[in-house]
Amino acid sequence: MERHEALEIVKKQLTDHRYQHTLGVMETAIALAKQYGADEKKAELAAIFHDYAKFRPKEEMKQIILEQNMPNDLLSHNTELWHAPVGAYLVQTEVGIDDEDILNAIRYHTSGRSDMTLLEKIIYIADYIEPGRIFKGVEEVRELAKHDLDEALIEALKNTIQFLLKKNQPIYPMTIDTYNALMMKKKGESVSE
């Protein structure tokens, strides 16, 4: 699918602000794909569609989670988590994208997961550091992403988890799994321990 066609489709699903964010994620994801040797076309499409379901009614998303046998624990956690797996489903069924790599990058863009693919990491980080993002700690993650994707991911996850802790919010287990997997991989690589 051509970029202009994908953008035309997603624009109808989003607010102008969210569309501008999507363009930022697209540019950032393509740059990261170039730098780290991922498929640039897949990065482009995954970025364009990553927030496809962001504005779907909660009832519709809940229905899809139940009917498609998605992890049940989603329903007891922050509804903000739902648009990622529901987005993957809708991008496949409504847009017709069947590439599992692209769909997984959309599916895991909010929580991550253990053993993320390069493309999944790129979309997670691009979503976090695109030029429109201005929250505290983003600059550190931008710097780290220039040299080491895993370090950038760890920093972004730490920030997200800390942010949720401060707001007295539960942490979705898959977010913790993502953090743990990266920290254990790092420990395994270090010679001093």
By the criterion CB under 6 A, which residues form the site for ligand DGI?
Answer: 51, 54, 77-78, 80-81, 84, 109-111, 127, 160, 164, 169-172, 175
Told to check if 130 binds Fe ion by CB under 5 A, we report no
Q: Which does 15 bind (CB under 5 to 8 A by kind): ligand DGI, Fe ion, none?
A: none
Q: Which does 13 bind (CB under 5 to 8 A by kind): Fe ion, ligand DGI, none?
A: none
Could you give the CA distance from residue 60 to residue 62 in angstroms, rounded to a whole number? 5
Tokens linked to 188: 């395994």
> Could you say which DSSP state residue 95 is in?
I
Count of positions on this chain that bind Fe ion (CB under 5 A): 2
- Is residue 113 classed exposed, middle or buried when 0-12, 13-18 and 19+ CB atoms within 10 A define those classes? middle
Residue (78 or 180) nearer to ligand DGI, CB: 78
Could you give the CA distance from residue 187 to residue 191 in angstroms, rounded to a whole number? 8
Looking only at residues 22 through 51 of this chain, which bind Fe ion when binding is defined by CB under 5 A? 51
Q: How far is the CB of 14 from ligand DGI (least distance, A)?
A: 11
> Could you say which DSSP state residue 27 is in?
H
Could you give the CA distance from residue 12 to residue 90 in angstroms, rounded to a whole number? 14
Told to check if 127 binds Fe ion by CB under 5 A, we report yes
Contacts with Fe ion, residue ranges (CB under 5 A): 51, 127
